[in-house]
A and B are shown apart, each in its own frame.
Chain A
Amino acid sequence: MQYTTDVRIIRLMCTGRVDPTMVAEAFMEGADGIMVVGCHFGDCHYISGNYQAKVKIGLASKALGYVGLNTGRVVFNQCSSAEGDRFVSQVTAFHDSICAIGPLGSAENLSLPALKDRVDTARTALASEKLRWVVGKFTEFEKSGNKYGEKFTAHEMWRTLDTIVIDEIATHGILKEMGKGAASVVELARRLEIAPPEALKYVLALQRRGLVGLAGVDGSTPSYKIVERPARAA
């Protein structure tokens, strides 16, 4: 049983421990690919950690995909401790696919600093309260329904998740850009590569939440900035 020397294993108690932000951080450190390997469903040594992991990794992959990372760089696999052969074939297949995708940045057509900056936006979104709640509730909703007893299929849930991920990434992208200084909607839209009306929608939503305010008006173009808020009281 032999496999590539290109992998390093990080031991965790359970794949449920994998915080989606860890995945983003590893790419910011320069990893070319990340494979999360957990138990088979129904056979999790920690009961249900692997269901959580599947959603968390799926979400990380979506968020990273939206900011331009090749999603083939993140996989979630399942393998029991008695299945050495299976592990080897999973590692080998993943290694082959990463070799085909190429080193970080190449398939993305982005310089490393540019890619890392984008991954950082995904990381902030993955750390956000909203995405955490959705992920947390994902498995529960799928199994037992929401509080009105409505059940959702995984497909429906992922579709909902999709829009939330897009919203969160745009929102955090805007906050990040504004962190560099006041900016107009058109400018923000250009930097984030989204349509100006979309950018306006997010800016207005942020303004309603009191996170963003008017910085000034340049001719007829308003520019916006982040509203400084007192640090959280201890």
Chain B
Amino acid sequence: MAEEIRIGVFVCNCGSNIAGYLDVKSLAEYAKSLPNVVLVKENLYTCSENGINEIKAAIKEQGLNRVVVASCTPRTHEPLFRGTCAEGGLNPYLFEMVNIRDQCSWVHMQEKEKGTGKARDLIRMGVAKAALLEPQEPIESEMDPRALVIGGGIAGMTAALALGNRGYEVTLIEKADQLGGLLLKLDKLAPSGADGCETVRKQADLVSRHPNIHLMTSTHLDEVNGYIGHFQVSATTNGAKTQFGIGVIVVATGANVFRPAGLYGYDGSKVITQLELEEVFKSGPFAAKNVVMIQCVGARNDERKYCSRICCMVAIKNAIEIKEKSPETGVRVLYRDIQAYGTENEALFQHARELGVIFIKYDPARPPKVEEGKVVVHHELLGREIDLDQDLVVLSTPLVAGDDNEAISKLLRVSLDANKFFLEGHVKLKPLDFATDGIYLCGNAHYPASVREAVSQALGAAARASIPLSKGVMSVEPIVSTLVDEDACRGCGLCVALCPYGALEIVRGEKGRKVKVIPVACKGCGVCAATCYHHALSVNSYSDAQIGEQIRAYLEESA
């Protein structure tokens, strides 16, 4: 036991992110005075190759057996530094991270002295905890190499095909009675001009004939249990229940079109949505003589703050379509801002103007008024109200979160954003993953997207999902519950009843009834450890002693 504890502390400047607001030199100096600390280094960027190499070298040369990095957030950098320790020959769980950027320099920008004082405390707390850390070995378990895709729109079909083509078995669940999603209702697709229905029919055909894809239409997803590599799914198709196992999940459930009930006299015949206009195109010749489109209906307001991204493109596309079908029809688009991003959308916008489509800016404080035979709008440049003739008004409404998002987010234990769209694990670093391992997202389920964007995301999500699938064996973080005091356990089962993951069971052994942890199922939440009145269970790297030491280290100094 009594191995001497040798802690190395690496204090990061994060360029000027930390050093600009905290006195990093004094922090490094302070760290030297802490118990068990044998080495302190200050780095410009600890996560750079230089910094990493310094850690590795120090482990070897200084015989470090604990490493503490005081830098940014463990959310993004803990895996990197743990890996560094492993490469340097130190068990990666003998590493502790102290967040002096998000918790100090960024939030105390105007209080250098106090912020530095707080960072000193945090480093002292981290060092105190580090001294009590224990090595852990990764937990390995077999990976079920099959995938589930939820939603059979263009995104879901693309993801299923990509995974199927890589050789993985895929189950595709679609709640409707046919594949295709929103595109089934669309006419021509911008910017290519391809037919919406035909585009999805081609994909649907590939999906239904694919030997690796098991298609389940008219199917309701009832339950999902388990974790990456070992999910158990139950679903119902026309009253018949099925259950099966899979290893990863792709969410591609799309979005809904906002129905503008009560807005601008919407009635579905004379005042319609862009989606309904596409249906008009599909149903035959176009008869209206004067069309007025209104943008941002029900979007970018207090209730729905976001921009739905695709509606400007859709309005431009459909304005051109009207002009092509019926050149003498007048088309006016009332907009707040035109989002014609990218070369192709901009070209379409210019083309629409060449065809005589008129774009008029309106002020949301003075919205247009739809009246009998006309739309009255305050023209910003003329500085007065003008009347526009109309025999058809088309409202551009945003895509809104799907009906099932809340239910699915509960089933899969993944998050939604403020607008109830699915929330990715990290905006920049994990845009196609959920925070929960083994679950991915693509298409409109995430946020309004064009077909091309939805397809790129689907290909990306399939690529992400195939990383664990290709591994065969999966290793799980060993930050899990452990029976640290078998004698203390009375086998009462209280912890078993409370574990949210079914990761505990009572087994009868030589010593009588005792609890047993199923480490691959355990997520390390600690509910059990916080419940057992005999302290028989503890969570690796978050033991009572380690947490207690952190608290003590903070309060001893400031007391």
Interface residues of A (CB under 8 A from B): 1-3, 5, 8-14, 16-20, 22, 25-26, 29-31, 42-49, 52, 56, 80, 82, 88, 127-129, 132-133, 135-136, 140, 234
What's the nearest-Cβ distance from chain A to residue B16, in Å? Answer: 17
Which residues on the B side are within 8 Å of A80 (C-beta)?
415
Taking a contact as CB atoms under 8 Å apart, the answer to whether A26 and B103 are in contact is: no
B263 to chain A, nearest CB (A): 29
Residues from chain B with Cβ under 8 Å of A5 in the complex: 108, 111, 114-115, 117-118
Closest to B116 in A: A5
Task: Assess whether A14 is in contact with B526, with CB atoms less than 8 Å apart.
Answer: yes
Contact A2 B110 (CB under 8 A): yes
Known A5-B114, A127-B533, A234-B487: A26·B551 in contact at CB below 8 Å? yes
Distance of A180 from chain B, by nearest CB (Å): 24
Among the 9-residue stretches B193-201, B305-313, B492-500, the one with 4 or more Cβ atoms under 8 Å from chain A is B492-500
Q: Complex formed: what's the CA distance from A11 to B542 in Å?
A: 9
Residues in A neighbouring B114, C-beta threshold 8 A: 5
What are 19 A-B residue pairs whose CB atoms fall within 8 Å in the complex? A2-B110, A5-B117, A8-B118, A8-B121, A8-B554, A10-B125, A13-B524, A16-B525, A17-B539, A20-B530, A22-B530, A29-B559, A43-B409, A44-B413, A47-B501, A49-B526, A127-B533, A132-B533, A140-B497
Within 8 Å by CB of A128, from B108, B533, B539, lies B533
B125 to chain A, nearest CB (A): 7
Chain B residues with Cβ under 8 A from A17's Cβ? Answer: 525-527, 529-530, 539, 542, 547
B371 interfacial contact with A, CB 8 Å:
no
Cα of A49 to Cα of B525 in the assembled complex, Å: 7
Determine how close the nearest CB of chain B comes to the CB of A146; give it in whole angstroms: 13
Least Cβ–Cβ distance between A47 and chain B, in angstroms: 4
Taking a contact as CB atoms under 8 Å apart, the answer to whether B555 and A29 are in contact is yes
Q: Which residues of A contact B122 (CB under 8 A)?
A: 8
Task: Give the total number of A-B pairs whose CB atoms are below 8 A apart.
Answer: 127
Q: Is the CB of B415 within 8 A of A43?
A: yes
Q: Which residues of A contact B121 (CB under 8 A)?
A: 8
Check if A1 sits within 8 Å of B423, measured CB to CB: no
Task: Please name 6 further chain A to chain B contacts, defined as beta carbons within 8 Å, in addition to the given A8-B554, A49-B527, sorted by A numbering.
Answer: A12-B542, A13-B526, A19-B544, A25-B548, A30-B559, A46-B525
Check if A2 sits within 8 Å of B539, measured CB to CB.
no
Tell me the smallest distance from the CB of B84 to a CB of chain A, in Å.
20
| B559 and A10 within 8 A (CB) | no
Contacts of A19 in B (CB 8 A): 529-531, 544
Residues in B lying within 8 Å of A, measured CB to CB:
74, 99, 103, 106-111, 114-115, 117-118, 121-122, 125, 409-410, 413, 415-418, 423, 435-436, 479, 487, 494, 497-498, 500-501, 523-527, 529-533, 539, 542, 544, 547-548, 550-552, 554-556, 558-559
**Partner pick for B530 among A8, A18, A43, A128, CB 8 A cutoff:** A18
- Chain B residues with Cβ below 8 Å from A47 are 413, 500-501
Q: Which B residue sits closest to A130, measured CB to CB?
A: B533
- A133 near B494 (CB under 8 angstroms)? yes
Which residue of B487, B498, B526, B552 is within 8 Å of A29 (Cβ)? B552
Among B417, B547, B551, the residue within 8 A (CB) of A31 is B551
Query: B99, B110, B548: which contacts A22 (Cβ < 8 A)?
Result: B548
Least CB separation from A49: chain B residue: B525
- Docked Cα-Cα span, A128 to B534, in Å, equals 9
Closest 7 CB pairs of A and B: A17-B526, A16-B527, A47-B500, A46-B525, A14-B525, A5-B114, A19-B530
